[in-house]
Amino acid sequence: MTIIARWLPILRVCAKIPGMNWDMIGHEWAVQLLSEHIAQKRLRHAYLIAGPRGVGRRTLALRLTQALNCLAPPEPGQPCRACRSCQQIERMQYPDLLVVQAEQEGGTLKVDQVREMQRSLSLHPYEGRYRVALLLRFEEAHVSAMNALLKTLEEPASQVVLLLTAESAERLLPTIVSRCETLRLRPLPLEQVSRGLQEGWGAPEDQARLLAHISGGRPGFALQLYFEPERLQQRQAWLSDLLHLLTSSRRERFDYIEPLAKERSVLRSALIVWLSFWRDILIKICGAGAPIANLDYQQEIERLAQQLNRSSALHILGAVENALTLVDQNVNPRLIGEVLTLDLPKL
């Protein structure tokens, strides 16, 4: 199933929900700032939208693109979300929207992609008021690609807007950041995400609460889990596998890692799930007041918190974080997984 096909249910619902907050969950301050920039004709030529994955970076960028090119805006800075242009932008199929990103998460955005984008931006808009270049996960750009973008940032065309998304501004070249208006999005209160899922998308209360916790207050990630239940099922499988590994022999652990590590992106996703689980255990051991992410595994988390101490939980948490770092550095994934399983306790 393609990305667009998976998101079609969301698109159909979004088109029916009018809202002054660009139909987003939270981030009202960012919506107000950008809508005022449009209404007051103070639009910047480049914006950097920073924040953790799933927090709403891409959605905010697409809403801004809609507000810039809407055919029937109800008022300046507000997209109608229903016209042909708004619908095409929602599906990222608008002729004046260029989407540039690494081929896969954790990959590399290459300099040739930036240069091809620059050639396209030299053309006048086909049908919109602005040509918009959306550079997703720009922290994955090769340094040569970042340097190549500087020319466009320094000499922007009047009808071109660049929208960059990244996990943090600190992962980009300072010369890139200094030429952009930076908006830093942060996770929302869990109750706000839960309420948004219920009111905007009709999610049952218990499910909305669970998804808000799993997402850690990131509405985009919560919506992915809601509309793609196979993601939730895969998460549950990885957590069940982790619990089984804690009682398995070294041979069994190595046998499990071998197929999991065949695809780097799959191993990375599993590690992120495991990281949230061990964080929950550490929270319980320390008696901290922070909410746990994996509400549906609360009994298992409390049981393990009684069997482990703070030092061992910190050690495992550090081992998983280190494994994630090595995955992003293109170290052999099978070796990463095998080393990590040796750090897991034998219960």
pLDDT in tens, 271-309: 999 999 999 999 999 998 899 999 999 999 999 999 999
H or E element: which one contains 97?
strand 97-100
Q: Is 175 helix (H, G, I), strand (E, B) or coil?
A: helix
The closest of 79, 78, 107 to 94, measured between CA atoms, is: 79
Q: Is 84 helix (H, G, I), strand (E, B) or coil?
A: helix
Q: How far apart are CA 336 and CA 118, in angstroms?
A: 38
- Read off the pLDDT of each residue in 216-229 and give the average, rounded to a whole number: 95
**22, 63 contact by CB (below 8 A):** yes
**Confidence at residue 15, expressed as pLDDT on a 0 to 100 scale:** 38
**Confidence at residue 1, expressed as pLDDT on a 0 to 100 scale:** 41
pLDDT digits (tens, 9 = 90+) for 55-79: 999 999 999 999 999 999 999 999 9
**Confidence at residue 6, expressed as pLDDT on a 0 to 100 scale:** 45
pLDDT digits (tens, 9 = 90+) for 317-333: 999 999 999 998 889 99
Name residue, tokens 């550490």: 282
User: Is the per-residue pLDDT at 115 higher than 80?
Assistant: yes
Mean of per-residue pLDDT scores for the chain: 91
User: Is the per-residue pLDDT at 2 higher than 80?
Assistant: no
**Confidence at residue 20, expressed as pLDDT on a 0 to 100 scale:** 66
Distances 261 to 253, 271, 323, 345 between C-alpha atoms, Å: 12, 11, 12, 20
Greater model confidence, 166 or 104: 166
pLDDT tier at 228, thresholds 50, 70, 90: very high
**Confidence at residue 307, expressed as pLDDT on a 0 to 100 scale:** 95
Q: How far apart are CA 132 and CA 126, in angstroms?
A: 11
What length does the chain have? Answer: 347
User: Is the per-residue pLDDT at 16 higher than 50?
Assistant: no
Distances 20 to 17, 24, 31, 345 between C-alpha atoms, Å: 10, 9, 9, 51
**13, 201 contact by CB (below 8 A):** yes
pLDDT digits (tens, 9 = 90+) for 150-185: 989 988 888 999 999 999 999 999 999 999 999 999
